[in-house]
């Protein structure tokens, strides 16, 4: 379901010191399942060897225009590509693209392209800000070329400014997002919650849980991959997780904050997936000062607002979100407890996992879940990566939204 899987991507590399980063991009695209055709300009060959790219992509790298097969090749490369990405795109190549020059295999391929074209400018000094470059970018944008970056920062000359090539992971994210458009969730708004909440006890202490946030982030990515607009509400995560490109992220700390944000977003959502491990209880009183060890407190707890119950109430009035998916992390009586949750929270689907299994639940990369449906159906899924679980859940969400 990763939209890069099986796609034919032409990666054009032009003459810039950032060419070394294109090797990383070629590797990442290949790992994402794309068939990567690398075209190097003559300038690029001064910075990086074709062998680097052929080793990373497992395919022949294209360089010169002046071979027997090159003229046929460029048309095939450009026409057959699902996307052409030029990264780094030097000021020189940018200018050539703007006027439609085709004096090397790279620019020729771009001119023959029928699919979307992306450029990631990379240039030093004030070249990016120069009116000539800006005018060229304007022309390219008007023509539908998507300009990725550049970022601001230190450049090879030591100058700081706009001109650094966007990081390969970001370029990959933008490509993934663009290729997902038109998918089965296009035009749909999906809200995903992820991570745990922290319920403060005093200014330095809080109650929380072992949620890593990984399953929630994977769900957000899977929804984006199907073309959805995604809001990601994030509590505490075990490590800093990269926000999937395209997700609109809101960070929260407590269950009360998460309730406020989720209820607001749910008003416009087609689907809500509550993967967050929301604390079920919190200290009744938050001490203004750090509690001293000499005065050991008796902790008094109170329930937090149940977000899914509040969503169910609002949904009865407004009909939104059409689809609500809950999670149940259980350490005993998995199915009985999950059935109870499904009914009480009036869910469209419940994803239950037994957190006592070593290969499922918090922190690990894999998950073994059982899907429970309101009509009593129980659907156990095999051990999968969290991304695969996310894809399986989103496939069900698509079915539910389509009325299946």
The distance of closest approach from Cβ of residue 267 to ligand C5P in the complex, given in angstroms and rounded to an integer, is 16
Q: Is position 276 an interface residue for ligand C5P (rule: CB under 6 A)?
A: yes
311 closest CA partner among 279, 346, 341: 346
Count of all residues that appear for the chain in the document: 404
The distance of closest approach from Cβ of residue 388 to ligand C5P in the complex, given in angstroms and rounded to an integer, is 19
Given the residues 92, 104, 136, 209, the one annotated as active site:
209
Token couple for 116: 């979307």
Q: Is position 255 an interface residue for ligand C5P (rule: CB under 6 A)?
A: yes
The CA dihedral of 92, 93, 94, 99, to the nearest 10 degrees, is: 100
Gap between the Cα atoms of 88 and 41, Å rounded: 11
The distance of closest approach from Cβ of residue 383 to ligand C5P in the complex, given in angstroms and rounded to an integer, is 21
Cβ nearer to ligand C5P, comparing 118 with 327: 327
DSSP H or E stretch at residue 186? none
**Running DSSP on this structure, what letter comes out for residue 297?**
P
**Running DSSP on this structure, what letter comes out for residue 82?**
S
Residue nearest to ligand C5P according to CB distances in the complex = 307
Gap between the Cα atoms of 43 and 66, Å rounded: 16
Cβ nearer to ligand C5P, comparing 32 with 256: 256
Question: β-pairing, 189-194 with 229-234?
Answer: parallel
> Residues touching ligand C5P: how many (CB under 6 A)?
13
Only segment of 184-192, 271-279, 288-296, 371-379 that touches ligand C5P (CB under 6 A): 271-279
Answer yes or no: are the C-beta atoms of 150 and 4 closer than 8 Å: no
Only segment of 124-132, 273-281, 292-300, 312-320 that touches ligand C5P (CB under 6 A): 273-281
The distance of closest approach from Cβ of residue 188 to ligand C5P in the complex, given in angstroms and rounded to an integer, is 20
Q: Who's near 333: CB < 8 A, 6+ residues apart?
A: none
Q: Which x/- pattern over 313-352 shows residues binding ligand C5P (rule: CB under 6 A)?
A: -------------xxx------------x-----------
Q: Which x/- pattern over 281-320 shows residues binding ligand C5P (rule: CB under 6 A)?
A: -----------------------x-xxx------------
The distance of closest approach from Cβ of residue 165 to ligand C5P in the complex, given in angstroms and rounded to an integer, is 39
Question: What sign results for the dihedral spanned by CA atoms 219, 224, 228, 232?
Answer: positive
| 329: β partners | 353
Gap between the Cα atoms of 353 and 4, Å rounded: 30
The distance of closest approach from Cβ of residue 296 to ligand C5P in the complex, given in angstroms and rounded to an integer, is 28
Q: Which x/- pattern over 6-45 shows residues binding ligand C5P (rule: CB under 6 A)?
A: ----------------------------------------
* Active-site residue, 353 included: no
Cβ nearer to ligand C5P, comparing 327 with 362: 327
Answer yes or no: are the C-beta atoms of 230 and 223 closer than 8 Å: yes
Gap between the Cα atoms of 74 and 117, Å rounded: 15
The footprint of ligand C5P (CB under 6 A) covers 255, 274, 276, 278, 280, 304, 306-308, 326-328, 341
Q: Which residues does the annotation mark as catalytic?
A: 209
């Amino acid at each position: 379901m990763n939209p890069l899987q099986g796609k034919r991507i032409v990666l054009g590399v032009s003459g810039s010191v950032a060419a070394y980063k294109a090797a990383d991009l070629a590797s990442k695209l290949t790992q994402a399942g794309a068939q990567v055709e690398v075209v190097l300009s003559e300038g690029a060959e001064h910075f990086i060897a074709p062998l680097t790219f052929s080793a990373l992509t497992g395919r022949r790298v294209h360089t010169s225009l002046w071979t027997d097969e090159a003229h046929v090749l460029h048309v095939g490369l450009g026409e057959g590509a699902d996307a052409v990405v030029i990264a780094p795109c030097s000021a020189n190549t940018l200018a050539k693209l703007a006027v439609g020059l085709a004096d090397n295999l790279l620019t020729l391929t771009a001119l023959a392209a029928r699919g979307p074209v992306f450029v990631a400018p990379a240039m030093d000094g004030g070249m990016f800000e120069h009116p000539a470059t800006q005018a060229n970018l304007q022309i390219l944008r008007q023509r539908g070329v998507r300009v990725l970056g550049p970022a601001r920062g230190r450049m090879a000359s030591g100058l700081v400014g706009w001109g650094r090539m966007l990081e390969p992971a970001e370029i990959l994210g933008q490509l993934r997002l663009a290729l997902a458009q038109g998918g089965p969730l296009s035009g749909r708004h999906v809200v995903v919650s992820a991570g745990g909440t922290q319920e403060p006890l005093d200014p330095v202490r809080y109650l929380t849980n072992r949620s890593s946030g990984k399953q929630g982030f994977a769900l957000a990515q899977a929804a984006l991959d199907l073309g959805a607009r995604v809001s990601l509400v994030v509590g505490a995560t075990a490590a800093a997780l990269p926000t999937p490109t395209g997700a609109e992220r809101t960070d929260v700390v407590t269950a009360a904050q998460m309730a406020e944000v989720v209820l607001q977003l749910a008003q416009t959502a087609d689907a809500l997936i509550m993967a967050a491990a929301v604390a079920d209880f919190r200290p009744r009183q938050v001490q203004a000062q750090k509690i001293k060890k000499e005065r050991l407190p008796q902790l008094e707890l109170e329930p937090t607002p149940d977000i899914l119950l509040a969503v169910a109430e609002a949904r009865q009035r407004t009909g939104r979100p059409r689809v609500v998916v809950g999670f149940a992390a259980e350490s005993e009586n998995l199915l009985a407890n999950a059935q109870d949750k499904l009914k009480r929270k009036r869910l469209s689907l419940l994803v239950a996992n037994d957190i006592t299994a070593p290969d499922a639940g918090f922190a690990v990369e894999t998950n073994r879940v059982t899907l429970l449906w309101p009509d009593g159906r129980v659907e156990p899924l095999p051990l999968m990566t969290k991304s695969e679980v996310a894809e399986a859940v989103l496939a069900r969400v698509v079915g539910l939204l389509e009325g299946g």
